[in-house]
A and B are shown apart, each in its own frame.
Chain A
Amino acid sequence: MLFKDFDPIEDKLFQVMDNDGHMVSSQWKPDITDDFVLESYKFMLFARTADRMCVSFQRQGRLLTYPPNLGQEAIACAVGKQIRPQDWLVPAFREMGAWLLKGAKLSDLFLYWGGYEEGSRFSDTPYFLPSAVPIASQLPHAVGIGYAAKYKKEDRVVFAFVGDGGTSQGDFHEALNFGSVWKVPVIVIVQNNQYAISVPVRKQTASKNIAIKAIAYGIPGIKVDGNDFFAVYKATQEAVAYTQSGNGPVLIEAVTYRRGAHTTSDDPTLYRTEEEEKSWETKDPIKRLRAYLVSRGMWKEENEPPLLEQYKNEVEKEFAIFENHAPYSVEDVFKYQFKEMPDELRQQQVAYEKFLQWKEKNKEV
């Protein structure tokens, strides 16, 4: 069994494919067709195109602070591909692919990172919490959702994301503890991208890996090569089977590298070297999956430019939806704070509207 073979106490890294796209452990290759792999590859390309464009939209002043996903696309895609319509996604904020595969529209993401709460609505898809900016605070929610599913005897799996920095928060440990005691169907995916803003993972934890923390909670943990689409896919598949059988949560540590900045406000040159950044380029998840597909005769380099052009146009179209969004109304500030607005709050809205009328009248004079 996978989780036994890759006991985190031995600090083994679960890998199916090497950096050049060759199988290193075929016995663990997930049972998926090359067509499915190709479709996943294309999706990762799409997500990367959108992500890169978000960064440039931000640079152009058309989007606000944005956290780039560059280099981490395999995780969100391999997990996202296994989220069924009835499953929950409890996101952090750097797993764009999973958001899209769960049913978010790209325009939702633009709305959110562009400054409208509307982007957290995800009107096309249920079972999807808004992003969680306070680090790791979403994990107890995932466990609560898992409890509700179990209580209602519903067939649902909860997929929750967090980063390496998040594993230092009490909420991470409390959630795993509750989840294991309650035996809820929750999969916690830690994207270990080596940095919490500027702080490297060695200053975050003295554990030899993050997956090992699962042992203390009596649940399986596995350290996976997060840039290996097959490995993340397989580990997630096993985790789904395990947790669906009523065994409780699974902790997946997906080892990757945040090739971009923490957010567009961050400057990584302050805390890491160019050599280090370069060393991860060879492990890039898209490059690796492309090498696999090329070797299988499923893909040619020359297929790429027209596809990227097509994706760029698709992203532009979605961006136009965001840029043409209705202006933020006064009502939008007040309307959703309560189901039934207290009089106190209504009076505050009325006072503001009176001021706006005065302002308008003053303009005319």
Chain B
Amino acid sequence: MKTTVMTMVQAVNHALDIKLADDPNVVVYGEDVGVEGGVFRVTSGLQAKYGEERVFDSPLAESAIVGTAVGMAAAGLRPVVEIQFSGFVFPAFNQIVAHVARLRTRSRGKYGTPMVIRMPYGGNIKALEHHSESMEALFGHIPGLKCIIPSTPYDAKGLLISAIETDDPVIFMEPKRIYRAIKQEVPEEKYTIPLGKAKILNEGTNITVVSYGALIREVQRAMIRAKAEGISVELIDLRSIYPIDRETIAQSIKKTGRMLLVNEGPTSYGVGAEIMAIANEEAFLSLEAPPARLSGYDTIPPLPKGEHHYFHDPERIFYEIKKVVDF
């Protein structure tokens, strides 16, 4: 299999390229995605290759970007739309909650909404206001949506191809902090990764750490110190906020007896609560410490000069791992 070194930006571009080539129903649009190729250049070159009818700039209105995609999907197309930053998705929330997620069940299966809503998310990149949020828990809470978050270029490509091919709507959240920070050999040809399956990145015995997106890398850094202090960490990359891979998480916690969830979004009613519920429901008798979470505070992410207080560094992650292990 021929491979190329790719960043996540290139891997997502590659996935879009492959699907535009093999499915004439795929269209790609959003603000600045056409001529410019997106503010992060994720769609770079695609308009030149596939034409303006299939890859295009929309007017500036998130609600209409998503709302028109619902219509296209109902009429047989497979739109992949971009929301420039996840912090700007909220005008489209009515469309997402009221239609994207509901059309299939309301029409008793007559119409579906096979579409992907891509959006860069997450912080610690010294960004302006509304450019640092991690609101994946909101999408996980809306019945009818799948919500996917890759942590590597390889996963981004395989997961996005699956997302475009699935007949259900997918919120595809791209951790922009690692858009270009991680390079990896990625196969040039098409491959898919099943949606809803977590991945064990490191086997360990003392504690299960569940994380996803840009924080995987931070957890891996924390694990160096944990290892030096004799703590064996099993690291699970969740990859899918919904559906959630209950089985993989449960098996791991049964083995290690301890669980820490690490993510960026606000703590309350977040992904951590869901993983802790799984620990309780599936592995209660194996638990040697209360399942724990290290999430963001229940505040908006501070502007860049305060970021270091909000976004967890490996030291904080290690500290929380140690707390659970020492319980």
Contacts and interface: CB of A to CB of B under 8 A. Distances in A.
B44 to A, nearest CB: 9
Given A133-B128, A170-B63, A271 B36 contact: yes
B303 A116 contact: yes
A270 B130 CA distance: 25
Nearest to B300: A337
B282 to A, nearest CB: 26
A333 B297 contact: yes
Interface in A188-214: 196-199, 203-205
A169 interface: yes
A328 B31 contact: no
Given A198-B36, A198-B57, A355 B316 contact: yes
A265 B39 CA distance: 9
Interface string B256-275: 00000000000110000000
Contacts, number: 120
B185 interface: no
B305 interface: yes
Contacts of B304: 64, 114-115
Contacts of B31: 196-197, 199
B128 A328 contact: no
Interface in A68-119: 112, 114-117
Given A199-B32, A328-B302, A349 B297 contact: yes
Given A65-B128, A265-B39, A166 B87 contact: no
A263 B126 CA distance: 14
A135 B306 CA distance: 24
B57 A199 contact: yes
Contacts of B126: 64-65, 115
A36 interface: no
B201 interface: no
Contacts of A171: 91
B1 interface: no
B127 A65 contact: yes
A345 B130 contact: no
Indicate the size class of the contact surface on chain A.
35 or more
B90 to A, nearest CB: 7
Interface residues of B, number: 40
B131 to A, nearest CB: 8
Interface in A226-268: 263, 265-266
Interface string A159-184: 00000011011110000000000000
B305 A348 contact: no
B57 A328 contact: no
A337 B298 contact: yes
Given A133-B128, A134-B90, A344-B268, A334 B299 contact: yes
Contact of A345 (B60, B63, B297, B308): B297
A333 B305 contact: no
A332 B61 CA distance: 33
Nearest to B41: A270
A151 interface: no
Contacts of B127: 64-65
Nearest to A362: B315
Given A197-B31, A205-B59, A170 B91 contact: yes
B142 to A, nearest CB: 20
Contacts of B298: 337, 342, 344-345, 348
Contact of A168 (B37, B61, B308, B316): B61
B88 interface: yes
Nearest to A332: B306
B309 A345 contact: no
B87 A134 contact: yes
Contacts of B90: 134
Contacts of B297: 333-334, 345, 348-349, 352
A90 B127 CA distance: 22
A296 interface: no
Contacts of A342: 298
Nearest to A166: B60
B128 A64 contact: yes
B309 A198 contact: no
A334 B91 CA distance: 27
A359 interface: yes
B302 A332 contact: yes
B303 A117 contact: yes
B111 interface: no
Given A133-B129, A332-B306, A344-B298, 18 more contacts: A64-B126, A65-B127, A116-B303, A133-B128, A134-B90, A171-B91, A196-B60, A199-B35, A199-B60, A204-B59, A270-B36, A328-B306, A332-B309, A333-B309, A334-B297, A344-B267, A344-B268, A352-B309
22 contacts: A64-B127, A65-B128, A114-B304, A114-B305, A115-B305, A116-B305, A116-B306, A133-B131, A134-B90, A134-B91, A168-B60, A168-B61, A170-B91, A198-B32, A266-B39, A270-B35, A271-B35, A330-B309, A345-B297, A345-B299, A359-B315, A359-B319
Interface of B: 31-32, 35-37, 39, 57, 59-61, 63-64, 87-88, 90-91, 126-131, 267-268, 297-300, 302-310, 315-316, 319
CB-CB nearest 6 A-B residue pairs: A115-B304, A198-B36, A168-B59, A328-B306, A115-B305, A165-B60
Interface of A: 64-65, 112, 114-117, 131, 133-135, 137, 165-166, 168-171, 196-199, 203-205, 263, 265-266, 270-271, 327-328, 330, 332-334, 337, 342, 344-345, 348-349, 352, 355, 358-359
